[in-house]
């Protein structure tokens, strides 16, 4: 496995792989790899011939009062995990490589980037779309793999790739959960045992909303109302939003048989968590 | 020569050329090709193996009161010119190909895009960087060719390519002028004979400023002052700006031996014209 911080070394390796007729897969991460990332890598290894994992804690997607400084960093352990899985290349650039001096260029998906997560984390998605564009230009993958856990992110990246005519396919892979239902996140490492129990309410409420809608017990509006009520009453949990939206557009859901998504963001202690579930109401195609 | 509006056909042709080991050159244009464009194409044909000319009158780089509707369009004649020169492929997409329904993604070089031309044409450079990014993703050239005539544009595109880690080299080719000095522009077609005579003052004043600085006759500040005075007093010419700046940054020039550029934008009748000259003050490296 090649592990490099050098853009030139990365490009030479990818060029060689492509010249050998290999399809290039890319799994962009911020490191602190967990089973969710490993699942993305396994998909990439199944579906492409040469897999590049990128590890870069991107400063521009963190707000001024967010957890950039304390975000977990464990490069050696991450490299071990990648090596064990059979990943071909890990690109772990430093900030100067990704943001040259006087860097001034941004990529933004307007509209979608300013609702929900974007409303609570101004500038977050601009940071994501900008850095992913850079990583895509660095790696030039045929397919890039993202987790459904970051639902709005993968939707925005799909839109970006389509709008900018990038010759890349986005694959979204299912959220990986602990046996108790908690969606895996590098930020779960921040949680105390008590906070973790509190956090479980998020996935539980989402699962119940899905069940209620899919069984026809509640309308979408009723289920969303209950989702908000349930999560607002959990001690120690501060709800940012809990909504049920059209899964393609994130527009307010209508009862038309569209694929839906329930999305929750909440803070537990000092930790901000997000989760989501896809919901297929009765009559969904 | 392949002439196509289809992204798939373009990509298949470029893929084949690349598989044959050819280096891809790209000359992005808005059509209405003149000798300046032909010079770009000749450079591309000299320096790369497979040349794609793109012809697309990009709506997003025109302001609401600008000349998008009347901008000259002459596809058949343009194709003939490209064919005559030995261009390999002309990509002339329609608006729907470049801007899918609900297109929402923009690329912007901050700072540089809001001064000079950007101040007088708000949103112009955002439109340019967005469409050029799309064209680069469509063509995936090794080298892209732009004219020095659009000086600020080529500077912004260089910055964009660097910042976004695009694997593309930008080549800037010298401005082509009519024998009387007028810089070639598709917009010169709008000028009456009288207006053309008035417009000649722009290049003349720029040449004189260059001479005065390079000979040591005037300081940069003095030459800039005279440039403004001369052009402000030309009947029928409305000056937008006339400046002498650092040619790398467009920051105000200092007398330190940096490479400089004199930049002018002015309206003659209903036609807006720009021009520039590079200036090497005494002591320039």
Considering the domain architecture, whether residues B18 and B122 belong to the same structural domain is answered as yes
Q: Which two tokens stand for residue B148?
A: 């020095």
Averaged pLDDT, A176-193: 97
Considering the domain architecture, whether residues B113 and B230 belong to the same structural domain is answered as no
Domain that holds residue A265: 186-277
Considering the domain architecture, whether residues A57 and A117 belong to the same structural domain is answered as yes
Considering the domain architecture, whether residues A15 and A146 belong to the same structural domain is answered as yes
**Cα dist. B155→A126, A245, B147, B185 in Å?**
23, 43, 11, 19
User: Quick check: is B283 in a domain?
Assistant: no
User: Quick check: is A240 in a domain?
Assistant: yes
SS3 (DSSP) at A195: helix
Considering the domain architecture, whether residues A33 and A126 belong to the same structural domain is answered as yes
- Chain A positions in Cβ-Cβ contact with residue B104 (cut-off 8 Å): 109-112, 159, 163
Indicate the residue of B7, B134, B164 with minimum beta-carbon distance to A105: B164
- Please state whether the predicted TM-score (pTM) of the whole model is above 0.90: yes
- Beta-carbon separation of A165 and B104 below 8 A: no
Mark which of B128, B147, B173 sits at the end of a domain.
B173
For the cut 70, the answer to whether the pLDDT of residue B211 exceeds it is yes
- Chain A positions in Cβ-Cβ contact with residue B112 (cut-off 8 Å): 104
Indicate the residue of A100, A108, A140 with minimum beta-carbon distance to B105: A108
User: Percent of chain A having pLDDT more than 90?
Assistant: 96
Considering the domain architecture, whether residues A195 and A160 belong to the same structural domain is answered as no
- The residue in chain B having the minimum alpha-carbon distance to the alpha carbon of residue A133 is B164
Is the backbone of residue A250 left (phi > 0), alpha (psi -120 to 50) or beta? left
Give the integer Cα–Cα distance in Å for B137 and A164.
7
User: Quick check: is A200 in a domain?
Assistant: yes
Considering the domain architecture, whether residues A167 and A234 belong to the same structural domain is answered as no
| Helices marked H in chain B | 7-19, 35-47, 75-85, 95-98, 117-120, 124-139, 151-163, 193-214, 220-232
A251: nearest Cα among A240, A238, A263, A265: A263
User: Percent of chain B having pLDDT more than 70?
Assistant: 99
User: Quick check: is A283 in a domain?
Assistant: no
Q: What is the mean pLDDT of chain B?
A: 97
Mark which of B173, B197, B218 sits at the end of a domain.
B173
Mark which of A109, A143, A173 sits at the end of a domain.
A173
| Interface residues of chain B, partner chain A, Cβ below 8 Å | 7, 11, 98-100, 103-112, 129, 133-134, 137-138, 140, 159-160, 162-167
Considering the domain architecture, whether residues B95 and B46 belong to the same structural domain is answered as yes
The whole-number pLDDT of residue A128 equals 98
Give the integer Cα–Cα distance in Å for A230 and A241.
12
Considering the domain architecture, whether residues B217 and B244 belong to the same structural domain is answered as yes
- Chain B positions in Cβ-Cβ contact with residue A7 (cut-off 8 Å): 165
User: Quick check: is A32 in a domain?
Assistant: yes
Contact B125, B109 (CB under 8 A): yes
- Beta-carbon separation of B164 and A137 below 8 A: yes
Asked if ipTM goes beyond 0.90, one says yes
> Strand pairing partners for A264?
A242, A275
The whole-number pLDDT of residue A159 equals 98
Q: pLDDT tens digits for B218-272?
A: 999 999 999 999 999 999 999 999 999 999 999 998 767 789 999 999 999 999 9
Give me the CATH number covering residue B248.
Answer: 3.30.1300.10
- Beta-carbon separation of A107 and B164 below 8 A: yes
Averaged pLDDT, B106-113: 98
Contact A257, A281 (CB under 8 A): yes
User: Percent of chain B having pLDDT more than 90?
Assistant: 96
Considering the domain architecture, whether residues A94 and A228 belong to the same structural domain is answered as no
For the cut 70, the answer to whether the pLDDT of residue A230 exceeds it is yes
User: Quick check: is A285 in a domain?
Assistant: no
Q: E strands within chain A? A: 2-4, 24-29, 50-55, 89-91, 105-109, 143-147, 169-173, 237-246, 260-268, 271-279
Considering the domain architecture, whether residues A119 and A30 belong to the same structural domain is answered as yes
The whole-number pLDDT of residue A285 equals 67
- Beta-carbon separation of B105 and A138 below 8 A: no
Give the integer Cα–Cα distance in Å for A22 and A17.
5
Q: pLDDT tens digits for A124-173?
A: 999 999 999 999 999 999 999 999 999 999 999 999 999 999 999 999 99
Give me the CATH number covering residue A72.
Answer: 3.40.50.620
Contact B90, B78 (CB under 8 A): yes
For the cut 70, the answer to whether the pLDDT of residue B140 exceeds it is yes
**Closest approach of chain A CAs to the CA of B131, in angstroms?**
8
User: Quick check: is A282 in a domain?
Assistant: no
Considering the domain architecture, whether residues B144 and B219 belong to the same structural domain is answered as no
- Number of domains chain B is built from: 2
Averaged pLDDT, A185-196: 97
User: Quick check: is A181 in a domain?
Assistant: no
């Amino acid at each position: 496995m090649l592990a490099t911080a050098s853009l030139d070394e990365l490009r030479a390796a990818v060029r060689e792989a492509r010249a050998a007729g290999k399809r290039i897969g890319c799994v962009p991460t911020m490191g602190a790899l967990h089973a969710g990332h490993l699942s993305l890598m396994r998909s990439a290894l199944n579906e492409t011939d040469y897999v590049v994992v990128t590890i870069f804690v991107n400063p521009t997607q963190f707000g001024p009062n967010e957890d950039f400084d304390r975000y977990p960093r464990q490069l050696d352990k991450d490299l071990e995990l990648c090596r064990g899985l059979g990943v071909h290349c890990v690109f772990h650039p430093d900030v100067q490589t990704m943001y040259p001096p006087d860097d001034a260029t941004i990529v933004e998906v307007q509209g979608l980037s300013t609702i929900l997560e974007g409303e609570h984390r101004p500038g977050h998605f601009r940071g994501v779309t900008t850095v992913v564009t850079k990583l895509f230009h660095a790696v030039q993958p045929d397919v890039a793999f993202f987790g459904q856990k970051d639902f709005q992110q993968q939707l925005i990246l799909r839109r970006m790739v389509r709008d900018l005519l990038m010759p890349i396919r986005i694959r979204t892979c299912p959220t990986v959960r602990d046996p108790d239902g908690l969606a895996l996140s590098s930020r779960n490492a921040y949680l105390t045992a008590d906070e973790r129990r509190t956090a479980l309410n998020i996935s539980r409420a989402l699962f119940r909303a899905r069940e209620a809608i899919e069984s026809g017990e509640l309308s979408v509006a009723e289920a969303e109302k209950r989702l908000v009520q349930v999560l607002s009453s959990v001690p120690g949990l501060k709800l940012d939003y809990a909504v049920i939206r059209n899964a393609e557009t994130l527009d307010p859901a209508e009862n038309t048989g569209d694929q839906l998504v329930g999305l929750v963001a909440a803070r537990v202690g000092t930790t901000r968590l997000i989760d989501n579930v896809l919901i297929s109401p009765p009559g969904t195609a």
